[in-house]
Amino acid sequence: MESSTILPLSQLSLSLPRPNRSRARPFRPWTQWTSQPTRIRCQKMYVPGFGEASPEAKAAKNLHNFFTYVAVKIVTAQLESYNPEAYEELMEFLSRHSLNDGDKFCANLMRESPRHKSLALRILEVRSAYCKNDFEWDNLKRLAFKMVDKSNTSLMRDYIRETSHLEHEK
């Protein structure tokens, strides 16, 4: 079992370590220290055109919205069986609001009414639980690899059939 000690504020040290003066550098303006190009050696592909976000960040955003969609599906299925009135309210709200932006959908749902607020909180809870506990991340990676390989093979095979004379000779 871990133990931790809580120190009173009077015993905490807030002093910064003193710089090592034995290896003094010659004075250079700050711009000269930072203007040196830094080359990062990376074995990954550079993907242009994504602005401030990486392709992984864009995929994460899409997954985030997808998890909201899944959570809404789960909550509506639960409500349909044990709370038909709340189910009807959520279905009516769904008919008026898009699920394309999951956070915007939940924000609008929270502000609709106190009853809708509880539905939104339930959706947020289910979304988090699904993402953390039920979504099979390893399976996603395996399926993505498999889909890309299968699609590439199929497209290349179709192209070869179209451009080769083997099919025409039969």
So what's the pLDDT on residue 32? 53
130 and 144 assigned to the same domain = no
128 and 162 assigned to the same domain = no
Residue 128, domain extent: 56-135
How many domains does the structure of the chain reveal? 2
Does residue 156 lie in a domain region?
Answer: yes
Average pLDDT over residues 88-108: 95
99 and 144 assigned to the same domain = no
- Other Cβ atoms within 10 Å of 130 Cβ, number: 16
CA distance 37 to 21: 27
Does residue 22 lie in a domain region?
Answer: no
Average pLDDT over residues 136-158: 96
Does residue 38 lie in a domain region?
Answer: no
So what's the pLDDT on residue 46? 77
| pLDDT tens readout for residues 10-52 | 444 444 445 555 555 555 555 555 555 555 556 777 777 777 7
The tokens describing 64, both together, are 């985030």
Compare 124 and 5 and report the one with higher pLDDT: 124
Q: How confident is the model at residue 96 (pLDDT cuts 50, 70, 90)?
A: very high
79 and 118 assigned to the same domain = yes
pTM summary value? 0.66
Q: How confident is the model at residue 90 (pLDDT cuts 50, 70, 90)?
A: very high
The CATH number for 117's domain is: 1.10.1200.210
CA distance 162 to 20: 71
